[in-house]
């Protein structure tokens, strides 16, 4: 699939908000999240819980705020939900999304959901949808609501905006773990298994990456 062309103005806007992180080495350290780094409770009232877990979102790009996304996570009754924020113009994101699609099939058997959120500009929604279709991505996918500042703050106050970014929430939509950059399947699985086992996993990956860059 050919890579999208971004105008200088759009590049400047994207760079100011989201940076596309370079892929780090597999070795990573972890640090415990600072007090208050957990996502605040959403203002949106969640629907009454159903007898069985509901399917989060829709394969098409439905716009959602952080509060709406967290409310849906709470109402879905999954043991955990992995949320990945990506963009069609981000090279590492394009490599990571198919891996998450494959991973979602294994996690579903453990009642763990995978959700994607596109950070593409609203006028570039078709580019994101084309990428999803070309790669046969079927996991629920949303478009991050504008302005992006509140969305980033609602997902994780410690998230500066690099892409890709992956968030692990528990059934109460409390943020339990954060990866600010490309993440490997075995890293995700290890943290999720610890969470499902009842172990304390609250924290974030310590990435030592170059400043975010936008691919052209």
pLDDT of residue 205: 87
Q: Which residues pair with 168 in a beta bridge?
A: 82, 177
- The answer, yes or no, to whether residue 73 has pLDDT greater than 60, is yes
Decide: residue 160, CB within 10 A, 0-12 exposed, 13-18 middle, 19+ buried: exposed
Q: Is residue 16 part of a domain?
A: no
Tally Cβ neighbours within 10 Å of residue 116: 27
Q: Is residue 45 part of a domain?
A: no
In this prediction, residues 17-43 reach a mean pLDDT of 48
CA pair distance 123, 132, nearest whole angstrom? 16
> Residue 86: which of 11, 146, 151, 142 has the closest Cα?
142
Q: Is residue 92 part of a domain?
A: yes
Pairing mode, if any, of strands 141-144 and 80-86? unpaired
Q: Is residue 96 part of a domain?
A: yes
pLDDT of residue 18: 72
- The answer, yes or no, to whether residue 26 has pLDDT greater than 90, is no
Pairing mode, if any, of strands 141-144 and 112-118? parallel
At 20, the pLDDT band (50, 70, 90 cuts) reads: confident
Look up the pTM and report it.
Answer: 0.75
In this prediction, residues 196-206 reach a mean pLDDT of 91
Q: Is residue 113 part of a domain?
A: yes
- What is the per-residue pLDDT across 178-193, written as a single tens digit (0 to 9) for each? 999 999 999 999 999 9
- Domain range enclosing 112: 54-204
- Chain-wide mean pLDDT for the chain? 79
In this prediction, residues 26-31 reach a mean pLDDT of 46
pLDDT of residue 60: 65
- The answer, yes or no, to whether residue 171 has pLDDT greater than 50, is yes
Q: Are 1 and 131 in contact (CB under 8 A)?
A: yes
Q: Is residue 24 part of a domain?
A: no
Q: Is residue 145 part of a domain?
A: yes
Find the CATH number of the domain harbouring 165.
3.40.30.10
Q: Is residue 180 part of a domain?
A: yes
- The answer, yes or no, to whether residue 46 has pLDDT greater than 80, is no
- The answer, yes or no, to whether residue 67 has pLDDT greater than 90, is yes
Number of domains in the chain: 1
């Amino acid at each position: 699939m050919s890579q999208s062309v971004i105008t200088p103005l759009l590049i400047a806007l994207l760079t100011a908000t989201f940076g596309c992180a370079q892929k780090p080495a597999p070795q990573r350290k972890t640090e415990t999240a600072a007090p208050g780094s957990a996502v605040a409770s959403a203002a949106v009232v969640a629907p009454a819980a159903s007898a069985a877990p509901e399917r989060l979102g829709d394969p098409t790009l439905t716009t959602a705020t952080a509060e709406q996304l967290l409310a849906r996570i709470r109402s879905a009754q999954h043991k955990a939900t992995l949320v990945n924020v990506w963009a069609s113009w981000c090279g590492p994101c394009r490599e990571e999304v198919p891996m998450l699609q494959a991973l979602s099939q294994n996690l579903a058997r453990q009642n763990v959901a995978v959700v994607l959120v596109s950070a593409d500009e609203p006028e570039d929604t078709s580019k994101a949808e084309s990428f999803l279709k070309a790669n046969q991505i079927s996991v629920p996918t949303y478009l991050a609501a504008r302005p992006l500042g509140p969305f980033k703050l609602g997902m994780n106050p410690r998230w500066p905006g690099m892409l890709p970014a992956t968030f692990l929430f528990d059934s109460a939509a409390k943020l339990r773990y954060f990866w600010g950059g490309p993440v490997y399947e075995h890293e995700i699985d290890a943290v999720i298994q610890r969470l499902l086992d009842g172990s304390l996993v609250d924290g974030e990956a310590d990435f030592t990456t170059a400043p975010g860059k936008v691919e052209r």
